[in-house]
């Protein structure tokens, strides 16, 4: 691992920000785009419609998922100063940062938004209240934000990119999609010789032992991760059952729609690539000519 | 204007979020990408190196620009809950939202970051402390965040996309770049017949009459906007003189480097396109074959 991090430091196209984020140039930006292009080609096999959503999600929508009680430790809120002129003046006059680089906030405006924690939430909100007359495939990529206790370059970041391919439909339609997508992803790993194991997993609930949802996930695993070299999950296949269908009143026939998604963490895929194939772009497998089938 | 907004509402590929942000699908996402592709081709004529930076900027870096005293009304901060288990439990137990959809924040963690207010700031921070042995051209696109008193679809958003092409170098090198880029952009407008006037402008300083920087901008205009139909600035050409060079200790020869940028607001370009050419993709000029020269 350390070797990889030293290599990263020597790459002029990478810079790690101590606040848990990465900057890319040249080769790494090209790798980022090629990986996303690969996932988009996979999405294309399902004729998934692509959407681009904003950075913020309405807190009221997210509350329908009990997000704030399940993951309070992760959430990042966008906060502005109260717009009153006296308040802005007080902020501006009062030396806005302390010696430690910490912002001395004065009164803040009401908070009604959250920085996107998972790309696919936007899609369920988008489809809210709809009746589907067949399975629906969609895809989106977004920057996602999750506060952690510590950060590691490409592996664990406050903000990172997530591409998701989602299916909504009947239980059968969603399960068929997830099986098919998992097989196709496995063929990608086999073609580029990336050492990946599939492992059941659970989401990082706050106080898991007290969370009914965590216990349900333990009893009947619905999340399977793509684990690189036994140490880093670079993606996952998730069956949500009718959880989002019920929360957002999306129906398939007479029932709340089922949903499932395949999620790819772009920076973590980059980490796996750099670890496995080295820091030189010339040594990486050619993703543009890789056949997704 | 209203006609355009009704057209937008009828476009399945657009959705306006009341929190001042837009979602795109299909045709509009394609237009977004084609426009950015056009700006990238322009950047390519200067062999500009492309970078992708994170969503957050260190408040300490931004303070070097007096940003907090100049624009306190605009800033959005990313804020997390204090990570103490009792605090998270209190948040989670206390019904996190009120009936109005407003988040009931408990204690928050120290704030040291800001949501990017302008794409190019990252580039100056990236080059901090460097000595340039020739003009340097760079480009980046980022989601930018500016709180406003009201929002309008595509025209005035809390978050929006900005592509910038930046030159750092001597005063002469930077001025030559800005003149050349402005001519090339003007040729793009002429080719696609987009009615644009160039107009001097100033940045939206807090209490402008009290801001020395605002007065300097008024006396010696350094910002020229691309104004669509006399009503919406969709981009700008900016000469920063040695402002960023001094703030971030970037030198060209024995002097603080000069810098200048050409900035494109992607959603506003989309607005101009939709207003001028209508909501149907078939009626839009073909950007992929447009020659940038």
Of B52, B76, B85, the CB nearest to A79: B76
Chain B nearest CA to A50, separation (Å) = 6
Burial class (CB in 10 A: 0-12, 13-18, 19+), B124: buried
Of B19, B25, B69, the CB nearest to A56: B19
Which pLDDT tens digit goes with each residue over B80-124?
999 999 999 999 998 999 999 999 999 999 999 999 999 999 999
Q: Which residue of B has its CA nearest to A50?
A: B25
Residues from chain B that touch A22, judged by Cβ atoms under 8 A, are: 54
Tokens in use for A178? Answer: 């997830």
Which stretches of A195-244 are assigned E, i.e. beta strand?
196-201, 223-228, 232-241
CA distance A142 to A274: 22
CA distance B252 to B169: 6
CA distance A219 to A207: 17
Of A72, A88, A103, the CB nearest to B91: A72
Is residue A31 predicted with pLDDT exceeding 90? Answer: yes
Tokens in use for A138? Answer: 């969609």
Chain B nearest CA to A248, separation (Å) = 16
CA distance A24 to A30: 9
Give the pairing type, strands A131-132 and A251-252. Answer: parallel
Pick from B18, B66, B74, B78 the residue to mutate for testing the A interface (most A CBs within 10 Å). Answer: B78
Q: Which residue of B has its CA nearest to A139?
A: B25
Is residue A133 predicted with pLDDT exceeding 50? Answer: yes
CA distance B41 to B36: 9
Residues above pLDDT 70, as percent of chain A: 95
Handedness of CA A126, A146, A102, A153 (dihedral sign): negative
Task: Lay out the sheet containing A251-252: strands in order across.
Answer: A131-132, A251-252, A255-256
Of A49, A102, A111, the CB nearest to B111: A102
Chain A nearest CA to B162, separation (Å) = 14
| Domain boundaries defined on chain B | 2-75+117-283, 79-115
Residues from chain A that touch B55, judged by Cβ atoms under 8 A, are: 21, 55, 115, 143, 145, 159
Helices (H), chain A: 2-10, 26-45, 59-63, 67-70, 85-93, 121-126, 171-192, 212-219, 243-247, 266-277
Chain A nearest CA to B37, separation (Å) = 14
Of B54, B112, B115, the CB nearest to A78: B115
DSSP reduced 3-state for B46: coil
Which pLDDT tens digit goes with each residue over A201-256?
888 877 887 777 777 776 666 899 999 999 999 999 999 999 999 999 999 999 99
Of B32, B63, B115, the CB nearest to A96: B63
What pTM, to 2 d.p., does this model score? 0.94
Those residues with Cβ within 8 angstroms of residue A279's Cβ, 6 or more apart along the chain or in another chain = A7, A8, A10, A11
Q: What angle do CA A124, A129, A133 make, to 5 degrees?
A: 90
DSSP sequence for B235-255:
EEEEEEETHHHHHTT-EETTE
Burial class (CB in 10 A: 0-12, 13-18, 19+), A130: middle
Pick from B50, B72, B141 the residue to mutate for testing the A interface (most A CBs within 10 Å). Answer: B72
Verify whether the Cβ–Cβ distance B159 to A81 is below 8 Å: no
DSSP reduced 3-state for B66: coil
| pLDDT on residue B1 | 45
Q: Which residue of A has its CA nearest to B140?
A: A25
Verify whether the Cβ–Cβ distance A24 to B51 is below 8 Å: yes
DSSP reduced 3-state for A262: strand
Verify whether the Cβ–Cβ distance A19 to B75 is below 8 Å: no
Provide the pLDDT confidence category of residue B208 given band limits of 50, 70 and 90: confident
CA A123 vs CA A175, A260, A288: distances in Å: 18, 12, 27
Indicate the angle between helix axes B266-277 and B2-10, nearest 10 degrees.
100
| pLDDT on residue A2 | 54
Q: Which residue of A has its CA nearest to B85?
A: A73
Which pLDDT tens digit goes with each residue over B133-190?
999 999 999 999 999 999 999 999 999 999 999 999 999 999 999 999 999 999 999 9
| pLDDT on residue A202 | 82
Tokens in use for B73? Answer: 């009304």
Of B19, B56, B76, the CB nearest to A112: B19
Residues from chain A that touch B126, judged by Cβ atoms under 8 A, are: 15, 23
Total beta-carbon pairs less than 8 A apart between chain A and chain B: 192
Instruction: Please report, to the nearest 10 degrees, the dihedral formed by the alpha carbons of residues B54, B56, B61, B67 taken in order.
Output: 130
CA distance B249 to B242: 10
What's the distance, CA B283 to chain centroid?
27
CA distance B154 to B8: 10
Is residue A25 predicted with pLDDT exceeding 70? Answer: yes
CA distance B243 to B216: 12
What's the distance, CA B277 to chain centroid?
24
CATH pick for B2-75+117-283 out of 3.40.50.720, 3.30.1330.60, 3.30.930.10, 3.40.50.300: 3.30.930.10
CA distance A245 to B150: 33
DSSP reduced 3-state for A196: strand
CA distance B51 to B245: 19
Residues from chain A that touch B43, judged by Cβ atoms under 8 A, are: none
DSSP reduced 3-state for A64: coil
Is residue B3 predicted with pLDDT exceeding 70? Answer: no
Residues from chain B that touch A147, judged by Cβ atoms under 8 A, are: 80, 83, 109
Provide the pLDDT confidence category of residue B207 given band limits of 50, 70 and 90: confident
CA B42 vs CA B35, B187, B230, B268: distances in Å: 11, 11, 25, 18
Size of chain A, expressed as the number of residues it contains: 293
Eight-state DSSP code of residue B287: S
ipTM over 0.90: yes
Residues from chain A that touch B32, judged by Cβ atoms under 8 A, are: 52
CA distance A103 to B78: 11
Burial class (CB in 10 A: 0-12, 13-18, 19+), B220: exposed
CA distance B278 to B98: 41
Which pLDDT tens digit goes with each residue over A90-108?
999 989 999 999 999 999 9
**What mean pLDDT is predicted for residues A59-70?**
94
Residues from chain A that touch B267, judged by Cβ atoms under 8 A, are: none
Which stretches of chain B are assigned E, i.e. beta strand?
14-17, 21-25, 49-52, 56-58, 76-80, 113-115, 131-132, 136-145, 159-169, 196-201, 223-228, 232-241, 251-252, 255-256, 258-265
DSSP reduced 3-state for B163: strand
| pLDDT on residue A1 | 45
Of B54, B75, B92, the CB nearest to A72: B92
**What mean pLDDT is predicted for residues A160-185?**
98
Size of chain B, expressed as the number of residues it contains: 293
Given a contact cutoff of 8 angstroms between Cβ atoms, the answer to whether A81 and A87 are in contact is: yes
Verify whether the Cβ–Cβ distance B101 to A145 is below 8 Å: no
């Amino acid at each position: 691992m350390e070797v990889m991090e030293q290599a990263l430091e020597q790459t002029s196209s990478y810079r790690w920000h101590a606040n848990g984020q990465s900057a890319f140039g040249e080769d790494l930006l090209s790798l980022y785009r090629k990986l996303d292009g690969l996932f988009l080609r996979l999405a294309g096999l399902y004729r998934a419609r692509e959407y681009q959503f904003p950075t913020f999600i309405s807190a009221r929508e997210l509350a329908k998922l009990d997000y704030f009680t399940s993951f309070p430790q992760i959430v990042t809120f966008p906060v502005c100063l109260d717009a009153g002129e006296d308040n802005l003046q007080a902020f501006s006059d009062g030396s806005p940062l302390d010696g430690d680089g910490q912002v001395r906030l004065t009164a803040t405006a009401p908070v009604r938004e959250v920085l996107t924690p998972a790309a696919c939430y936007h899609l369920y909100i988008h489809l809210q209240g709809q009746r589907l007359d067949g399975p629906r495939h969609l895809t989106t990529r977004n920057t996602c934000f999750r506060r952690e206790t510590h950060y590691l370059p490409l592996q664990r970041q406050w903000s990172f990119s997530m591409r998701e391919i989602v299916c909504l439909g009947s239980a059968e339609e969603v399960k068929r999609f997830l099986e098919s997508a998992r097989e196709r992803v496995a063929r990608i790993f086999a073609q580029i010789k990336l050492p990946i194991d599939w492992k059941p997993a659970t989401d990082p609930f706050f106080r898991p032992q007290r969370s009914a949802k965590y216990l349900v996930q333990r009893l009947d695993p619905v999340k399977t991760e793509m684990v690189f070299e036994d140490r880093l999950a670079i993606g996952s296949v998730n069956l949500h059952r009718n959880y989002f269908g019920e929360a957002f009143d999306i129906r398939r026939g007479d029932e709340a729609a089922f949903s499932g998604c395949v999620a790819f963490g772009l920076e973590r895929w980059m980490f796996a690539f750099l670890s496995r194939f080295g820091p030189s772009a010339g040594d990486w497998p050619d993703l543009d000519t890789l056949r997704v089938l």
